[in-house]
Amino acid sequence: MGEINYTYRHKDFDLNLAYYYTMVLQVNSTLFTYAVFYNDRLMALAENCILEELVEPTEMVNELLANFKDVVVGVDAEAFTIVPAELYSTDKVAGYARFFDVKEDEKVLAQQLDDDNFIIYKIKAVVFEAIGKFNLDRCVHSSRGWINVIANTNPAYNTIYINIEEGVAELLRFKNGKLRLYNTFEYKTADDLAYAVSVVFKQMGVLQREVHLYLSGAAVNREYRARLSEFFPVVDINKLKIAKLPEELNSGQLLKLSALLLCVSSEAR
């Protein structure tokens, strides 16, 4: 194996047993996270791997191309739109994609997001090339698992879920068991984050004093939580646990990644 900078590696992790493992990748336009699970137990984690290693593996050839039981690749979108299932058809995808201003170095993907919605989104062509070595049926929008695992908790109408990664945050809200809001926005400071969240609530007609925020994501920190608490009465860390993680890893920070386990194929379960 190459010299991989593992965030975590279980003492029993062995790629010779890959046919018992599920590999989960979370990919954006420059970096990817590599994770391997045995059922729901994390066996290995490597974060902030450069995308070029996924396009043409050198150090991670064995780690990426082992004979895994299943592979799930979650891909971050450059832009997206959500279409109700009753309005979706494959022959309309190109029409929806015109709203994205798709450039020559970008590709469009369309997939079912949940029982009621499809998501159409664009990614960089280099990302498409990187994930092309895997079965595209195993490649999903990176938030699909996160959205569905929260939906399964029967969330209250006044609860907003925010996943905070470096420079980008995602907002999620349900009402009567149905997805009512999913959006992303860029931010630089805690003030940017608080302002963007406040604007969303005003547009939705939800009173800030009635809102319960649940935070997750790799970039969640004390400063962001404290700043949001100045505007909203209840701000908690999302403690949903999808996978068995070692004590030194924060389940809230890895929630979106581990939720991709919900996208494992029925054959691999």
Triad 109, 261, 151: Cα angle to 5°: 80
215-268, pLDDT tens digit by residue?
999 888 888 999 999 988 899 999 999 999 999 998 899 999 999 999 986 555
Phi and psi at residue 151, to the nearest 5°: -55, -35
The CA distance from 190 to 22, in Å, is 36
Q: How far apart are the first and last CA of the chain?
A: 27
The CA distance from 169 to 171, in Å, is 7
The class that CATH gives domain 154-239 is alpha beta
Number of alpha helices (DSSP H) and beta strands (DSSP E) in the chain: 8, 14
3-60, pLDDT tens digit by residue?
688 999 999 999 999 999 999 999 999 999 999 999 999 999 999 999 999 999 999 9
For the chain, give every residue range classified as CATH 3.30.420.260.
Answer: 154-239
What angle do helix axes 222-229 and 190-204 make, rounded to 10 degrees? 40
For the chain, give every residue range classified as CATH 3.30.420.250.
Answer: 1-153+256-269
60-94, pLDDT tens digit by residue?
999 999 999 999 999 999 999 999 999 999 999 99
Place of tokens 């979106």: 256
The CA distance from 23 to 68, in Å, is 7
The CA distance from 100 to 104, in Å, is 12
How many Cβ atoms are within 10 Å of 232's Cβ, its own excluded? 18
Domain 1-153+256-269 indexed as CATH 3.30.420.250: yes
Task: Please give the mean pLDDT across all residues of the chain.
Answer: 92
Distance of CA 4 to the CA centre of its chain: 23
